[in-house]
Amino acid sequence: MNYLEILGTYKDEMLETLKETVSINSVQSAPVRTVNGEFYPFGRGVQKALEHMLEVGEGMGFRTANIDNYGGHIEWKADSEECPKAETFGIACHLDVVPEGTGWSTDPFCPVVKDGVIYGRGVSDDKGPLVASLYAMKAVKEAGFKPKKNIRLILGCDEETGCSGMDRYTEAAGQPDLGITPDGEFPLIHGEMGILYFDIAMKLTKSSLKEGLRLTKFEAGTAPNAVPATARAVVASSEPKLYDSIRDRAAQYSLETGFTVKTKKQGSSMVIESFGTAAHGAHPELGINAISIMMDFLARINFRNEELNDYIAFYNEFIGFNLHGESIGCDLQDEPSGRLIWNVGMASFSEEMASVTVNVRYPVTCTGEDVYKGIESSITDGRIGIIKQMHDAPIYLPLDNPMVETLMDAYIKETGDTENKAMVIGGGTYAKHLNNTLAFGGLFPGEPDTMHQADERMALDSFYKMARIYAAAIVNICC
């Protein structure tokens, strides 16, 4: 039988392996040191999932490795005599899942199949694609192919919370020479935009004035890469009539703009709340930023600290509700990526400091310095500065790259889909941590994306189809 026919005989076994894997609650938890001295850096659940998959791989006759419980791999080695200097083709997946949350119609860690669809936390992100990749390796092996590259299914353990485990893994086990990560979308992600986190901040000098209004605190957001749905500011004054004025202005602002701003007394202070719509920082156009609503409203209030008033005016002039950095000098774009994506994810104000945290995703043919140069050219107020926090450089392979062409060919031969094209995304995957690696599946065009949501699910037809695609890619690239 050829490898596609062999895969057809695996369907029941594949489904059972997926159910077993999903039934392990592998949400990252606190590190554990056992009485025997073993260290589980990502908690017992992730550790159990890692040990389980390594055991499954060993049972198939593959070599396995556990890198200090930070990650591992299941490997099919090339013949050392025929290919003494064989490259390594990596398939990087992750075993950890996001917390289950609420709103499920099934038990998230007791996977069930209904109407040809499997439900459970991690079935699509990323345990389903992982299991499909493993059985693709098994089918190609049993079909009698002799790989000219080492094929290594890499098992990541903390992709959802920072990828430190993958960095630790590659330090010890080495980088693949090329590879895929089945943790994105089909047909292929051939580029991932660069990502920056930074603060735009101003130190504030306490006003010596006794009268007037103070902003004592303003907090919003929990992560740079999310559009905040709410923002909360606390103001204080010894003049109660100012509170009446703020309440009236909030009502008028809500009426004029359609945004919601509410006020309430809290002891001797007043709380102001703004309400937007949450969204992922890679798609801020799907949300409404509560920080920008709050800053727009605060511009209607005169605080006794003129530095604070200046910072609010700066924000509204140069940031506001922009989604592409167009007012602050960094509206970069290119043909593969489109426009730069700008999201203000967090705000933190006190009487000593005003600061917002920005998440930028910039085009693949640009650099982080291109972004900063544009911003710095717009910040002419010497009191306002940029505090750089994090940078992930972009990755990109052009459409005529041989690996791009080979992966697209594997997808098209199985699906017949020539309409959907390889894409560049604003998100980030393991591809940014590995050499010459691209995100390849497993979400098919037109399918609902339920990753990180209640009732996460995957059609079984898609599960088996992605296994066939991954098997074809392995044959085309490695055999």
- Give the per-residue pLDDT at 209: 73
Contact 283, 426 (CB under 8 A): yes
Q: Which of 392, 413, 434 is the last residue of a domain?
A: 392
Q: Helix 460-478 vs helix 11-22: angle between axes, to the nearest 10 degrees?
A: 100
Catalytic residue among 75, 158, 159, 160: 159
In the structure encoding, which two tokens stand for residue 11, read together? Answer: 């369907």
Whole-angstrom distance, CA of residue 129 vs CA of residue 95: 11
pLDDT digits (tens, 9 = 90+) for 163-190: 899 999 999 999 999 999 999 999 999 9
pLDDT digits (tens, 9 = 90+) for 104-132: 999 999 999 999 999 999 999 999 999 99
> 203 Cβ partners below 8 Å, 6+ apart?
352, 353, 383
Question: Are both 224 and 288 inside the same structural domain?
Answer: yes
Is the pLDDT at 196 greater than 80, yes or no? yes
Query: What are the Cα distances from residue 176, in Å, to 153, 165, 217, 242?
Result: 10, 16, 48, 63
Question: Are both 107 and 14 inside the same structural domain?
Answer: yes
Determine how β-strand 341-349 pairs with β-strand 194-203: unpaired
Dmax over Cα atoms in the chain, in whole Å?
87
Question: Are both 232 and 352 inside the same structural domain?
Answer: yes
Q: Which of 344, 370, 392 is the last residue of a domain?
A: 392
Question: Are both 228 and 341 inside the same structural domain?
Answer: yes
Question: Are both 211 and 344 inside the same structural domain?
Answer: yes
87 is catalytic: no
For residue 346, the domain's CATH number is 3.30.70.360
Is the pLDDT at 207 greater than 80, yes or no? no
Q: State which H helix or E strand residue 93 sits in.
A: strand 88-94
Domain, as residue range, for 90: 3-192+395-478
Q: Half-sphere exposure of 375 toward its Cβ, with a 13 Å CA cutoff?
A: 25
Query: What are the Cα distances from residue 160, in Å, to 156, 318, 422?
Result: 10, 33, 24
Question: Are both 175 and 205 inside the same structural domain?
Answer: no
Mean pLDDT for 186-208 is 94
**Number of neighbours of residue 378 by Cβ within 10 angstroms:** 16
- Give the per-residue pLDDT at 69: 97
- Give the per-residue pLDDT at 240: 82
Question: Are both 47 and 81 inside the same structural domain?
Answer: yes
- Binning pLDDT at 50, 70 and 90, where does residue 423 land? very high
* CA nearest neighbour of 125 among 448, 474, 394: 448
Is the pLDDT at 479 greater than 80, yes or no? yes
Whole-angstrom distance, CA of residue 12 vs CA of residue 124: 18
Question: Are both 28 and 111 inside the same structural domain?
Answer: yes
Is the pLDDT at 238 greater than 90, yes or no? no
- Which residue spans within 162-212 are E strands per DSSP? 178-181, 184-185, 189-192, 194-203
Contact 202, 215 (CB under 8 A): no
- Give the per-residue pLDDT at 68: 97
Mean pLDDT for 311-340 is 97
Question: Are both 370 and 412 inside the same structural domain?
Answer: no
- Give the per-residue pLDDT at 427: 84
96 is catalytic: yes
Query: What are the Cα distances from residue 168, in Å, to 145, 158, 173, 340, 353?
Result: 32, 11, 9, 31, 36
**Angle (nearest 5°) at CA 282 between 281 and 288:** 50
Catalytic residue among 75, 96, 158, 456: 96
In the structure encoding, which two tokens stand for residue 93, read together? Answer: 């997946």
Question: Are both 325 and 215 inside the same structural domain?
Answer: yes
Question: What phi and psi values does residue 74 have, to the nearest 5 degrees?
Answer: -120, 125
- Give the per-residue pLDDT at 206: 81
Whole-angstrom distance, CA of residue 271 vs CA of residue 264: 5
- Give the per-residue pLDDT at 270: 97
Per the structure, the count of domains in the chain is 2
- Give the per-residue pLDDT at 162: 82
Q: Which of 347, 366, 392 is the last residue of a domain?
A: 392
Question: Are both 284 and 174 inside the same structural domain?
Answer: no
- Give the per-residue pLDDT at 1: 84
- Binning pLDDT at 50, 70 and 90, where does residue 375 land? very high
- Give the per-residue pLDDT at 84: 83
For residue 156, the domain's CATH number is 3.40.630.10
Whole-angstrom distance, CA of residue 10 vs CA of residue 16: 10
Is the pLDDT at 80 greater than 80, yes or no? no
Q: Assign residue 43 a region: left if phi > 0, alpha if psi is -120 to 50, beta otherwise?
A: left
Across the chain, mean pLDDT equals 96
* CA nearest neighbour of 319 among 343, 303, 287: 343
Whole-angstrom distance, CA of residue 375 vs CA of residue 278: 25
- Binning pLDDT at 50, 70 and 90, where does residue 323 land? very high
Question: Are both 188 and 200 inside the same structural domain?
Answer: no
